[in-house]
Amino acid sequence: MTDTYTHSYGNWVRAALLITVITPYLNGCNSSGTTALNNTNDTTPVTPTSVAATPTPTPPPTIAAAPSVDAPAIAAATVTNSATTTSQRFSLVSSSGQVVDSSSLNQTKTVSIGSSGAAGRPEASEALGADTMPLTDTELATIKTTTPTAAARIINESILGFDSRFHVNPYGYPQRAVSLITYNGSTHCTGWLVSADTLVTAGHCVHSGGANGRWGSPSAFKIYPGFSDGYAPYGSCQPRETYSSYGWITSADSDADVGVIKLDCAIGKATGYFSYFVAAQTDNTAITINGYPGDKADANEQWGSTGVISRSTPAKLYYDNDTTGGMSGAPVWLQHNDTAWSLGIHTTGENLLSRGTNSGTRISQDVFDLITAVKELP
């Protein structure tokens, strides 16, 4: 009896060690084959060597006022001095090599107010700089089903039990402010507007992560706000510049998995855009995640999932929303007084050390500063 117990215990220890070793290779973001861009672009990793001057903030564009400016009941956190809480990993880095230390941004805000848009008029798209040419059959054919990562296949694509996702017609606010992101014509990720010309997504949607990673070429991206069933009512825009955090591009730090895209259009004036904020507390908060999962209609439709944040850390949120490949970069948001408030960025599927939850980057003060810095650039 003792020998049997000892033998079983030894097997258990070896199994535990095996799980510990392989878990880093099984952690998966839900952007599937789009993760890391597969080094398909011809740019080289940024090696930051100097700090650029802090950009001078400019007033936000004149747009229709948001229905409400009241923060959600889970009130925003008390403003803290960014210089005392940040670290180099949260420096803002652009694909062209500019580096801005977020401690120099001197942000004094924890809340950014969104807009419901100019009545969501698609006819305004061309005047706002969007490409309004309808997608050709060839272009539609290249937007293919996202292939799940190895980790997603092992854990059933991060569907946590019964698949509770629902189809969304993104014709109203805020759903029309959620965008399909393609790279070289193929399904890539999800993003969400935070100003007329600023889109938030996951860091791994713009850079493959780590010192050996690569930036996605800006000319290879297309952003389609409110994309639905092959129809792009607001046309498409492209990046003027892409941004991520120093921590993500140098060490693939999952706590700093955030990407921001400055667009060549002002389409947010038509679609509206999300509010975002630094929440003082998040646990037990009911949330929604909207995105473009590759396993639904060849990623041609927007789908949503509701759930609850079960736990959090200063940098991460963990929730029971169902997500699959293609939804990385989606907003983790809640509705308050007709305004959509985002408190996180969906990035990662379930893994062996966090069973029963998917997760995302929390909008901490550092992440808030990164997003706001790009938003306020001219």
Q: Which residues are the active-site residues?
A: 204, 328
Q: Is 285 within 8 Å of 312 (Cβ atoms)?
A: no
Share of the chain residues as helix, strand and coil, in percent rounded to the nearest 5: 25, 30, 45
Ranges of beta strands (E only) in 278-353 are 286-291, 302-312, 316-319, 331-336, 339-348
> What's the start-to-end Cα distance of the chain, in Å?
74
Burial of 141 (0-12, 13-18, 19+ CB in 10 A): exposed
**Distance, CA of 257 to CA of 245 (rounded, Å):** 7
Do the strands 259-263 and 275-277 form a parallel or antiparallel pair, or are they unpaired?
unpaired
**CB proximity list for 53: less than 8 A, separation 6 or greater:** none
R_g over Cα of the chain: 20
The distance from CA 376 to its chain's CA centroid, rounded to whole angstroms, is 19
* Amino acid (1-letter code) at residue 34: T
Write out the DSSP string of 136-151: PHHHHHHSPPPPPPHH
Write out the DSSP string of 34-61: GGGGGG-SS-------S-PPPPPP-PPP
Q: Is 322 within 8 Å of 194 (Cβ atoms)?
A: no
Using DSSP's 3-state secondary structure scheme, residue 376 falls into coil
**Distance, CA of 244 to CA of 194 (rounded, Å):** 16
**CB proximity list for 229: less than 8 A, separation 6 or greater:** 297, 300, 301
**Distance, CA of 372 to CA of 166 (rounded, Å):** 31
**How many CB atoms are closer than 10 A to CB 230?**
15
